[in-house]
Structure 1
Amino acid sequence: MTRLAQTNKIMWQTSGSQKGIKTLLALQLCIAWGNGMTIPLLVFYLHELRDIPLGLATSVTSIAMIVSLAGNPIGGYLADRFSARSVSSIGLMFAGIATALLGYSSNSWQIAGVIACLGFGLSISLPSQDALLAILASEQYLSTAFSFQLFLRNAGLCIGSAVGLLVMGRVDLKEIQTLYISDGFIMLLAALIILRVPESKNAKKARKEEVRLLSLLAVIGDDKRLQKVLILNFLLSAAVFSQLHSGFPAYAAEFAKHSSEVISAAYIANTVSVVALQMLILRLIRGWRHKKIIATMCFSLLVTIALVYSSAHTREFGAILFVGAAAIFAVGEILYAAAVPGMVNLIASDRSRGQYNGALVLSTTAGYLCGVTSSGFILSSGHQNLWFFALLTAILSASVTFLGAGPLRGFSAR
C-alpha cells in the first residue's frame, strides 16, 4: 500500500464520521454531474429555444453570480447559527426547485427570477457544504479532503457536460427540459440525504454555547490570517480561475485564432489532467508547508498565463502551447484545493467555521465577477497586452501579499 493510500485510509478512519464524509463527497459528485448537464447549456437554451437575444441571455445568466454576493455570507452565518447540514439542505432544495422550473420558464422576467433563486440557493449551500466537510474531516487531513472534493466535482462536471452536449446537438426542447428536471431532482434528493450526515460533537457544542455571532466584516477584520488568505483567493479567482471560461477562450479565438476544436481540446486536457494528476501531486506535496504549496501553485499559474499569451505569437506551436497551458493550469487547481480551503478551516473555530467558509466563497464569487467583467471589457477593446500584464500583476501581487505573511502553524499537506 502506498503512503498516499495509507493517508487516505487513515483520513476516513479518523474523521468525525467515516460514513458521513463518504456520503457528502458522493453527493457532491452527483450534484456536479447534474449541474454539468445544465449549466453549459444555459445560454444556448435561452438564445436558441427561448428566443432571447444573445446579449440579454448572457446578462441574465450573470444574475446568479450577483445574487451570490449576498447569499455566500448569509449561508455562512446561518451555518454557524443553526447547522451546516441544515443550511446545505435548504439551499439545495431552493436550487433544485428553481432548476426544474427553469426548463419551463418562457419569458425573460420569469427566467431572471428563477436564475436569481437558483443562484441564491447554491450560494448559501456551497459554504455550508465546505464547512460540513471540514467538520467531518480531522484537521490534519483537511488538505486531502478538499483535494478529493475538487477531484469528484471535476469528474461530475465532465460526465454531466458530455451528456448535456449530446442533447444540445439535437436542439430538442423536451430533452433539455428533461435535463433540467433531472438536475433539480438530483439536488432535491441530495438535500434530503445530506440531513442524514452526522455532525461532530464539537460543532453541536459550539452552537449551544452562548456566543455573539459577528458580522462578516467584523469576522474578517478580527483575523489578519484570514485577510491574507482572502486577498490571495480574490486575486487568483479574478486573474486566473475566472479566465478559464472567459478570458482564455476569448483570447484564443480572437487573437491567437485557434479553432473551436483546439479550444475544446484544451478543456478536455484540463479536465483529464485534474483527474490523472490528482493522486500524483498529493503524493508529491505530502508534508509540504502552506507557503511552499502556494509558491508552487503561483509558479504554475504564471507558466499557464505565459503559454496562453505565447500561443498567439507562435504559429507553428500555438495550438500545442494553448492545450499545454490548460494541462499545466490543472496543477494550479489541484494545489489550490490542497491548500486554500484547508487553511481557512484550520484557522476557523467550530463556532465560526460557516462564516469563514462564507467569506472564502464570497471572495471567490467577487473575484470571478470582477475577472469575467474586466477581461471581457479589456479584450473586446483590443488591449490584449494590457490583459496579459494585468493577469501577471495580480498573480505576483497575490504571491507577495501571502508569502510575506507570518507562518500558519499546524498546516501541511497530508
Structure 2
Amino acid sequence: MSALPVRLRLLLCGDAVSAIGIGLTQPYLVILLHTGKGVPLATAAAMTSLPALASFPGNWLSGALADRVGGHRAMTAGLVATIGGLALVATAGHPVLLGVAVAAVGFGWSVALPAYSALIAALVPEEARSRAFTLQYALFNAGMGAGAAVGAVVGVTGTLWWVAAATCGVAVACVWAARSPAPPPDAPAPRSGGYRAVARDRALLRVLLVAALTAAAGYGVYNAGLPVVAVRSGDPGLMPWASVVNCLVIVAGLPVALRAAERLRPPQLVAVAATVWSAGWLLCVVLRGWVALPLAAGLMGIGELFLSGALPSMVNALAPDALRGRYNAALTVAMTSGMWAGPLLAAAATALDRVWLLFALAVALLAVASRVALSGTRRTRCPAGR
C-alpha cells in the first residue's frame, strides 16, 4: 500500500475528513437534539433509529445509481443529501422537521457508502483490495475518534452541525477531484436483471449470510450487549473508556492488519475476526464487567480490522463491473440487517435476565459464519459479462 493511486488517496482523504464530521455529531445526537433543540429526551432517543431506517432504501438506491450513472455521481448525490440534512437539523426547530432532517442524513450516507466501496474496488487490483478496505476502515475510525474528541473538548453546540456539513463538502470536492479524465469507466452500460441478477448469485448470497451473521454477533452485540454489561456491573461510565480502547486498537493495529491482509485470503480473515470476537465475548461471560469490557472492546477492534477488508473484497471479487454498485449495496443491507438483529438479541437476553446467553449465542453465530466463509467462498470466479 506504499504506492496508492492518486485518485484513491483523494477518496480516502475525503472519507477521513467527513468521518470527523460524523464523530462531531453522531455520539452526541441525543444531547444535541434534547439540549440544543428542546426535543423531549424520549423522542430524541427514538430519533436515533431514523438514520438506520432510512438506510435501507438508501442502500438499494445507491446500488442502482452507481451502476447507471457512475460511482462518483452516486456518491456525490449521497453526500449532497447528507449536507442538506445536516443544514436542516441546524436550522429546524419543530420535532417533525428535525426527524426528517436526521433521516435525511442517514439516507444520504447510505447512498454514499456503497458507491464509495464500488469506487475503491474499481481503483484497486483484486489482490490489494483487502488492504485498501482495511486502510479505509482504519482512517474512517481515526477521523470519527478525532471528531468525537473535538466535540468533547469544545462542547456540544449547534455549530457542530455546520462543521459536519463543511466536512461533507470537503468530501464532495475530493470525490470530484478523483474523477478519471477519460470517459467515466465507473458508469458501465446497465446490465439486464438488476437486483434480480444479484439475488440469483448463490456465491454472493453465502457472503451476505456471513456478513449478516458477523454483523449481528459482532457489531450488534458490541453496540447493545457491552452497555448492558456496563450497567449490570454498576459502572456505566466504563463504556466510554471501552470505546476509547476500541478506537485506539483500530488505529494502532492497522500495520498488523495490513500485513495479515497480504498473507491471508479474505475467508481466512473472516475466520480470524470471528475467533477474536468469540474470545472477547467469552471474557464477558467469565470475568467481571470492569475487567472484561476494555479487553472485549480491544478484541472487538482487532476483529473489525480483519473483517473490514475481507467482506468487501469477497463481494467485489464476485461482482461484474455492470453490477458492482448493486453488489456493494447488497453487502451494506446485509450488514445493516445484522446490526439491527444484534440489539434485539441483547434486549431478549436482558429481559430473560440471562445476559450470558447473548454472548454464548454470539459465539455460536460467529462459528457458523466462520464455517460458511471457509467452506463456501474458496472458489474465486469471474462472472460473465466482465
Q: TM > 0.5 between the two? A: yes
CA contact (8 A) 1:127 1:358 kept: yes
Q: 1:186 aligns with which of 167, 177, 182?
A: 167
Q: Please give the secondary structure, in 2, of the residue aligned with 1:352.
A: helix
Which letter does structure 1 place at the counterpart of 2:2? K
Alignment partner of 1:195 is 2:195: no
**Residue aligning to 2:191:** 211
CA distance in 2, matches of 1:203, 1:250: 49
CA distance in 2, matches of 1:252, 1:73: 36
Offset of 1:410 from its aligned partner?
8.0
CA distance in 1, matches of 2:53, 2:67: 23
Offset of 1:44 from its aligned partner?
1.2
What do the CA deviations read for 1:122-168 (whole angstroms, capped 9, x no partner)? Answer: 11111001111111112221011101101100100010000112244
User: 1:325-404 maps to which residues of 2 (within 5 A)?
Assistant: 325-404=296-375
Compared CA separation, residues 80 and 263, structure 1 to 2 (3 A): same
**Residue aligning to 1:15:** none
Q: Please give the secondary structure, in 2, of the residue aligned with 1:342.
A: helix
Q: 1:258 aligns with which of 226, 235, 253?
A: 235
- The TM-score normalised by the length of structure 1 is 0.86
Moved more, 90-99 or 399-408: 399-408
CA distance in 1, matches of 2:222, 2:52: 16
Q: Please give the secondary structure, in 1, of the residue aligned with 2:93.
A: coil
Gaps in structure 2 of 5+ consecutive residues: none
CA distance in 2, matches of 1:257, 1:311: 14
- The TM-score normalised by the length of structure 2 is 0.92
Two-structure CA RMSD over aligned residues (Å): 2.2
Q: Please give the secondary structure, in 2, of the residue aligned with 1:204.
A: coil
User: 1:7-406 maps to which residues of 2 (within 5 A)?
Assistant: 8-10=1-3, 12=4, 18-168=5-155, 176-199=157-180, 204=185, 207=188, 209=189, 211-212=191-192, 214-216=193-195, 218-253=196-231, 255-260=232-237, 262-312=238-288, 318-406=289-377
CA distance in 2, matches of 1:195, 1:356: 23
CA distance in 2, matches of 1:54, 1:393: 36
Offset of 1:224 from its aligned partner?
1.5
What do the CA deviations read for 1:292-319 (whole angstroms, capped 9, x no partner)? Answer: 222211110100111122233xxxxx42
CA contact (8 A) 1:136 1:200 kept: no
CA contact (8 A) 1:104 1:177 kept: no
CA distance in 2, matches of 1:200, 1:239: 43
Which letter does structure 2 place at the counterpart of 1:61? T
Q: Among the aligned pairs, what percent are the same residue? A: 27
Compared CA separation, residues 277 and 200, structure 1 to 2 (3 A): farther
Q: Please give the secondary structure, in 1, of the residue aligned with 2:24.
A: helix
CA contact (8 A) 2:198 2:326 kept: no
Question: What is the count of residue pairs matched by the alignment?
Answer: 382
Offset of 1:327 from its aligned partner?
1.1
Q: Please give the secondary structure, in 1, of the residue aligned with 2:263.
A: coil
Moved more, 368-377 or 327-336: 368-377
CA distance in 1, matches of 2:177, 2:143: 22
Moved more, 97-106 or 148-157: 97-106
Compared CA separation, residues 145 and 58, structure 1 to 2 (3 A): same
Q: Please give the secondary structure, in 2, of the residue aligned with 1:52.
A: coil
